[in-house]
Structure formats: structure tokens, C-alpha cells
Amino acid sequence: MWATDTLWFEVAIVSIIYAVGNIFFGHFEEQTPKWRRFGKYLLTLLIVLGLSVYVGRWASMSLLGLMIVPLLYIHGYYLPKKKGINGWTGEPKRKYYAFRGWDTEIFRKE
């Protein structure tokens, strides 16, 4: 009944990662257009599936595992040290919005 030797396994893994990410961290993407968020999901899915088909499952799963390295660098070093933004909470919000190129005028109304 359950088989993990199909490409649906990769689809499920990528979809779970994105679902959990959107549940817990979606508020950091509040001003990102929906089409861009969906496009990022599709691009990731195509890369993972392509790697799995042409190189092997070990390559696609390794890529997903290696994605923790840029995450740790950006959130643990770059944002706090270079930009003055807490990499885990996105505070101060004014700096985070400016870094993302979003409208910071909402903070002037307070």
C-alpha cells in the first residue's frame, strides 16, 4: 500500500516542508505576492524532482538537507551582524521591512 520508491515521495516531502514553513513562518512573507510564493514552491519542486530523476533520490534529499546551511548563515550571521535584524524574529520590524524592500510607511502612523 505505501511505497516510497515513486516521485510522489519527493512531492510529499517538499510539500510538507513548505506547509510547515508557511504555518510557522508565513507572517514573515506577509507582503510577498502570492504568485511569487507559489512560484518558489514550484521551482523547488521541479529542482528536487529533476535531481531525483536524473541523479537519484540521494541527490535530491541531500540538496534539501544542505539548504539548512544558507538558512543558518543568513539568519544566524548575515541579518544580525550586517543588517541589525534579529534573524529569528525579524525585529526591529522597520529594518526588516526596509531590508525586504517593503513599504515602511505603516510604522510612521503609530
**pLDDT above 80 for 34:** yes
pLDDT number for residue 30: 86
State the Cα–Cα distance between residues 88 and 32, nearest whole angstrom: 18
Same domain, yes or no, for 22 and 72?
A: no
Residues spanned by the domain of 76: 68-110
Same domain, yes or no, for 30 and 83?
A: no
**pLDDT above 70 for 109:** no
Question: pTM of the predicted model, to two decimals?
Answer: 0.82
Same domain, yes or no, for 62 and 74?
A: no
- Give the Å distances, CA to CA, from 101 to 57, 60, 69, 94: 37, 32, 24, 11
Same domain, yes or no, for 5 and 54?
A: yes
